[in-house]
Amino acid sequence: MFFPTALRPRYAKWLIATGLFLMLGGCVDKPNTLERVKEDGVLRVITRNSPATYFQDRSGETGFEYELVKRFADDLGVELKIETADNLDDLFNQIGKPNGPVLAAAGLVSSDQRKQQVRFSHSYLEVTPQIIYRNGQSRPTDPGDLVGKKIMVLKGSTHAEQLAELKKKFPGIEYEESDAVEVVDLLRMVDEGQIDLTLVDSNEVAMNQVYFTNIRVAFDLGDARSQSWAVGPGEDNSLLNEINAYLDKVQKNGTLQRLKDRYYGHVDVLGYMGATTFAQHLQQRLPKYEQHFKNYAKKEKVDWRLLAAIGYQESLWQPTVTSKTGVRGLMMLTQNTAQAMGVSNRLDPKQSIMGGAKYLAYMKDQLDDSIKEPDRTWFALAAYNVGSGHLDDARKLTAKEGLNPDKWLDVKKILPRLSQKQWYSKTRYGYARGGEPVHFVANIRRYYDILTWVTQPQLEGDQVAEGNLHVPGIDKSKPTQEPAPL
């Protein structure tokens, strides 16, 4: 093309400017994953539907993984959106897909195979893989005993990888991988004798053991392993770095330990015999008083299952019990407490439950506003047991030790000191059996957890009962023998 000489410099400048514009336009960086999350205002997370990860109860969404990742979303200032995977293969396939979840929080253990699909965060929980068998059957003691047994594990799990490695050494080991079950299903199948063995992590065994009273740990298969979150593959470390910083922070400030304590710190309270007895009493005793628990809990704005858990801890749901110290009835009220709550007959279960509900609500109202949930509930239970004065003493001792007097995890460490002269001599209310409220709260939390799961199908009627929430089953058949009363 021909241009007059005078126009050539102008045209050259135009070409240069246009080229620079195009180059700069092409060099504009796309937002990284963390920036996109913040711009969208949403953190999309994929998980598993299980008691150790994520589930829904009457209060809404809950679970160890949910609580941990919800705090992360709050830290980012974004909304949390949870989706559940049908199986582990689906979970790993979904991470990092366009408009899909950017993070998996599902109790995952890293492995060489998985590292080819995703990148893992810092660890937040140590677990041990355990072989589970049914009580009454021959107990396996080493990997060679797995030969000839009917074994099932989750498809795509690290447990399946472990068994594949074992099979190289013991070719007779046969196992089935299933993507139609969750851990609670595997434990139920062992409990009912549908399969001989399964392999699951120790935290899930501990959490679900009480629902399946026939399961036992045969042996640990390998060393403890770390659970981590996972993000998609690639070189964009923006979200992963933020996750690691968050996990390090909650490890340091005690948040992680409080969550561990809440979900796993009381899993061994019942033991096998206690779990069996509780399952029997759920069928035989609770139905007689359940409506009273619900009515008075609603009136006092407390959770009826928490109220029922207190009743079980106090009397095993027996209305005529009297202790050596003179407390009486289903809720084991003292004479003074009964009078203050308007109870004229402590042996009347309806009145006793009414009094217990009012007293629990009263204890909760008396607490300092600085104590927030869920700690507020645990403090109220401790005060219900030991009295608000002794609880205040323990909180003051806690503060003097440089711990947080508004956190149950800290105060429960100090409460037992109230029975030691070197400590209670410095308090206003003096001696108390400070270890008792610690056990009292731990027991009630465990009973409450069980009641939460057992009543979960009532959340949305048949829709939930027949849906894909995995609810641990309680044997509905009538026990052969009623345990002796207290």
Strands (E), 197-293: 197-201, 215-220, 225-231
Pairing of strands 55-57, 60-62: antiparallel
The two structure tokens encoding residue 366: 């008396």
Largest CA distance in the chain: 114
**Residue 162's closest CA among 212, 128, 136?**
128
Angle between helices 271-284 and 435-454 (to 10 degrees): 50
Q: How many residues does the chain have?
A: 486
Report CA-CA distances (Å) from 476 to 304, 465, 479. Answer: 21, 15, 9
Q: Distance (Å, rounded) from C-alpha 138 to C-alpha 298?
A: 48
The two structure tokens encoding residue 352: 């006793």
Q: Distance (Å, rounded) from C-alpha 338 to C-alpha 368?
A: 24
Angle between helices 286-300 and 271-284 (to 10 degrees): 90
- Which amino acids are annotated catalytic? 314
Provide the pLDDT for residue 87: 87
Give tens-digit pLDDT for 62-86.
789 999 999 999 999 999 999 988 8
The per-residue pLDDT string of the chain (486 residues; one tens digit each, 9 = 90 and over) reads 444 444 455 555 555 555 555 554 445 568 899 999 999 999 999 998 877 888 765 456 778 999 999 999 999 999 999 998 888 999 999 997 888 999 999 999 998 889 999 999 999 999 999 999 999 999 999 999 999 999 999 999 999 999 999 999 999 999 999 988 888 889 989 999 999 999 999 988 877 776 677 899 999 999 999 999 999 998 899 999 999 999 999 999 989 988 887 777 655 556 656 767 887 888 899 999 999 999 999 999 999 999 999 999 999 999 998 876 678 899 999 888 999 999 999 999 999 999 999 999 999 999 999 999 999 999 999 999 888 999 999 999 999 999 999 999 999 999 998 888 888 888 888 888 888 899 899 889 989 988 887 776 433 333 222 333 333 333 333 333 333 332
What residues have CB less than 8 Å from 23, skipping those under 6 apart? none
CB atoms closer than 10 angstroms to residue 80: 18
Type and span of the H or E element at 84: strand 79-84
Type and span of the H or E element at 419: none
Provide the pLDDT for residue 484: 30
Type and span of the H or E element at 483: none
Q: Distance (Å, rounded) from C-alpha 481 to C-alpha 486?
A: 15
Predicted TM-score of the model (pTM) = 0.63
Determine contact, residues 464/457, Cβ cutoff 8 Å. Answer: yes
Provide the pLDDT for residue 214: 86
Give tens-digit pLDDT for 356-373.
999 999 999 999 999 999
Q: Distance (Å, rounded) from C-alpha 356 to C-alpha 385?
A: 11
**Residue 281's closest CA among 481, 58, 51, 57?**
481
Pairing of strands 103-109, 225-231: antiparallel
What residues have CB less than 8 Å from 75, skipping those under 6 apart? 246
